[in-house]
């Protein structure tokens, strides 16, 4: 079945571009024990996140938080809900476009995050467009998430693209390992 790519993204969908989520916040500051547990779990014992004196000796105001750790902190927010289902975008996809794939992330590290910083974050819908994929028309949803510290300073910007595919193309497929 062929889909008209030009009409797949409607004017109503395009009108959602620019929508912003509420500001969400972490329930508490990022603690030294959070960073220690992260370092133990990953084996990343960089002295920038393990030693205040060392971090200050190279020009920082104290221990930094590992950058990759920051990217997962949003999951701690009581306001965060996964995916577009939270409704903040107002985006209504065509029926059947329920299969979601990661289509890329771009991360900009703007300013250091330190132990005891408390972060907030907010999403913005920046684009919705369609392209023909190998097996189906795909709708791409691009969002930007900005993290700010307790002083309102922008510290990290993440641009994420999700690919939405029609679920019907997977109907009858057997999951790997199933019989």
User: What residues contact 152, with CB distance under 8 A and at least 6 apart?
Assistant: none
pLDDT digits (tens, 9 = 90+) for 49-60: 999 999 999 999
pLDDT digits (tens, 9 = 90+) for 15-44: 999 999 999 998 899 999 999 999 999 999
Give me the sign of the Cα torsion angle 79, 80, 86, 87: positive
DSSP E strands, the chain: 24-25, 97-109, 120-132, 137-148, 154-166
Nearest CA among 46, 24, 26, 27 for reference residue 36: 46
pLDDT digits (tens, 9 = 90+) for 80-93: 665 445 588 889 99
Given a cut of 70, whether residue 172 has pLDDT beyond it is no
Q: Which residues pair with 105 in a beta bridge?
A: 160
Q: What's the average model confidence in pLDDT over 107-111? A: 97
Does residue 73 or residue 2 have the better pLDDT?
73
The CATH number assigned to the domain with range 5-30+76-168 reads: 3.10.129.10
């Amino acid at each position: 079945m062929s889909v008209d790519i030009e009409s797949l993204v409607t004017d109503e969908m395009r009108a959602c571009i620019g929508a912003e989520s509420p500001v969400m916040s972490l329930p508490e500051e990022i603690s030294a024990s959070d960073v220690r547990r992260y370092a133990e779990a990953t084996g990343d014992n960089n002295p920038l996140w393990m030693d205040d004196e060392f971090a200050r000796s190279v020009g920082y105001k104290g221990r930094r938080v590992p950058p990759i750790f920051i990217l997962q902190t949003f999951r701690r927010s009581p306001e965060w809900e996964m995916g577009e289902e939270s409704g903040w975008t107002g985006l209504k996809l065509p029926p059947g476009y329920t299969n979601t794939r990661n289509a890329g992330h771009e991360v900009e590290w703007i300013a250091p995050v330190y132990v005891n910083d408390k972060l907030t974050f907010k999403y913005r819908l920046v684009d919705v467009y369609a392209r023909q994929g190998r097996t189906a028309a795909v709708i791409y949803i691009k969002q930007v998430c900005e993290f700010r510290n307790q002083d309102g300073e922008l510290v990290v910007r993440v641009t994420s693209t999700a690919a939405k595919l029609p679920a019907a193309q997977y109907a009858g497929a057997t999951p790997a390992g199933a019989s």
